[in-house]
């Protein structure tokens, strides 16, 4: 992994959805789009839906696609907290810069994330539980683009 690329990706995630960043113009009808750039690096997160959603995060270097991750998820129980999800996602680890950390807890909410693979080719799942009951799930996969 290129440290500069991963550092940029982590910063971009924290400045957009996880950091409650402002949305940009929709790229498609009813899409939510967030963009972050620094020099020749650009990150784009676009998703559809709310309680049931699907989206893609992508990274470009000098306008050339470099990396992408698709995700699909849903709220499965009551008292889901989008703020808790964003808090977990803002703690994305350098070693696995995909979604959130392996485990994160705040009060009665717990976030877990499991990943198979590495930056070049990966798949994973994240879950949020409240008092031990699952209330959210999201599957994701992606990797390098060549």
Digit-coded pLDDT (tens) for 57-102: 999 999 999 999 999 999 999 999 999 999 999 999 999 999 999 9
pLDDT at 1 over 70: no
Instruction: Count the residues in the chain.
Output: 146
Q: Taking the model in full, what pTM does it have?
A: 0.95
Who contacts 143 (Cβ-Cβ below 8 Å, separation ≥6)?
67, 68, 69, 117, 119, 120, 121, 122
DSSP letters spanning 14-38: HHTTTTTPPPB--SSTT-EEEEEEE
Which helix (H) or strand (E) element contains residue 6?
helix 3-15
Report the chain's mean pLDDT, rounded to a whole number: 97
Distance, CA of 112 to CA of 101 (rounded, Å): 7
Phi, psi for residue 86 in degrees, rounded to 5: -65, -35
Q: Under DSSP, is residue 57 helix (H, G, I), strand (E, B) or coil?
A: strand
């Amino acid at each position: 992994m290129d440290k500069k690329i991963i550092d940029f990706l982590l910063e971009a995630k924290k400045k957009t959805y996880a950091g409650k960043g402002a949305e940009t113009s929709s790229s498609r009808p009813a899409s939510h789009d967030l963009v972050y750039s620094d020099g020749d690096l650009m990150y784009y997160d676009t998703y559809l839906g709310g309680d049931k959603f699907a989206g893609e995060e992508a990274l470009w270097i000098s306008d050339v696609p470099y990396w992408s991750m698709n995700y699909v998820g849903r709220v499965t129980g009551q008292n889901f907290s989008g703020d808790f999800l964003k808090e977990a996602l803002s703690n994305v680890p350098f070693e696995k810069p995909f979604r959130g950390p392996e485990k994160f807890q705040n009060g009665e909410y717990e976030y877990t994330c499991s990943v198979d693979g590495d930056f070049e080719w990966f798949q994973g799942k994240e879950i949020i539980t409240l008092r031990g009951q699952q209330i959210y799930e999201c599957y994701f996969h992606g990797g390098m683009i060549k």
